[in-house]
Amino acid sequence: MNYYSTFILISDDSPVQASKIPVSNREKRTISEIEYALLHENPGYYTQDELQFEVHMIHKGIPEENRHGEKVLFLEKSRACMRASSLPKRFGWGNLL
């Protein structure tokens, strides 16, 4: 399933009272940090599939020249929807996709 022009609401069971920007002490950025950065810089730009693929490319450090082949492999597998992302569940962010 791919979302177009859809707003993903904050989860009812989110533990935060106000949205928090995902920040970690890890050397490598977390998936949440990458999702937040992409959505913050480009609100409403990505579909769910596009966002998840872009996050995958960045998180795994996949070279740009491998983009096409990697996208074919990426889209062959089913993925959890953005409602399962830690942005709406843990950090209190809704997402416009």
Residue 97: CB partners within 8 Å, gap ≥ 6? 3, 4, 5, 6, 7, 8, 44, 46, 47, 48, 51, 82
pLDDT at 97 over 90: no
Predicted confidence (pLDDT) per residue in 17-41, tens digit: 999 999 999 999 999 999 999 999 9
| Global pTM value | 0.89
pLDDT at 3 over 90: no
Q: What is the spatial distance between Cα 48 and Cα 59, in angstroms, rounded to a whole number?
A: 16
Predicted confidence (pLDDT) per residue in 43-91, tens digit: 889 999 999 999 999 999 999 999 999 999 999 999 988 889 999 999 9
Residue 70: CB partners within 8 Å, gap ≥ 6? 56, 57, 62
pLDDT in the model for residue 5:
79
